Amino acid sequence: MVDPNYFKEEAAGPQGVGVIRKVLEELEALREEHRVSTADIGAAVADTVRKAEEISRNATKGLREELEGAVRQLRTEMAEVKRASGTVETGVGETRAALVELVEYDRQRRVREEADREKQERLARAAKAAEINRTARLHHRSGRREEAIACWKRAVELEPKEFDTLFNLGSLLVKSGRGAEARPYLERFLREAPPPLYGRDFPKVRAWLEAIPA
């Protein structure tokens, strides 16, 4: 900021012009060195204009004209300061908009990557469950019930919505005399399996559940 002690109420004549010129030189130096903010320069210029107008009212006609010229120059400086401030604000706004766009782009990228990752994981689980299902059927055909049950349990953990596996597991547990263990699998089958595809199996499953001791 400009030192207010430069301005004296009794300042007039050449002394007043010298004060204003000194302020102009200081403002230019401050701008070049970037040691003050735009707001500080604007405040200094406004204060200088006010003081200069006050000096001008008490000066002689010839000196008043010179002072008025200095005031016009100061007002030009103020206009430049305001334009610079507007340019900075515009630049800040554009930068903010660019940052918002960049953040949104990064968010969408992460969403896509997460969706791709989940898709790959689902495909991997489905492939693993299908492999385990094949093994379970081989065990079942060979009469190895416990091995088949273990495999189907693992397949259901990987693919809870694989309703054929859910049905096969519940059915084999019931036939093995493990009704209580079969109940949650059979109840999930009735609750979640789509009727158009599995409705024909619902009566059988309900009968198994009714036969399981409470």
Which tokens belong to 183? 């109940």
Distance between first and last Cα of the chain: 88
How much is the pTM? Answer: 0.50
User: Contact, 79 vs 29, CB < 8 A?
Assistant: no
User: 128: pLDDT confidence band, cut at 50, 70 and 90?
Assistant: very high
Type of residue found at 98: A
User: 101: pLDDT confidence band, cut at 50, 70 and 90?
Assistant: confident
Domain boundaries, the chain: 4-96, 117-211
What's the chain's average pLDDT? 77
- Per residue in 145-174, pLDDT (tens digit) is 999 999 999 999 999 989 999 999 999 999
Which tokens belong to 67? 């002072």
- Residue 5 DSSP label: G
Report CA dihedral (47, 51, 56, 62) to the nearest 10 degrees. -70
Residue 39: the pLDDT is 60
CATH number 1.25.40.10 is the correct assignment for the domain at 117-211: yes
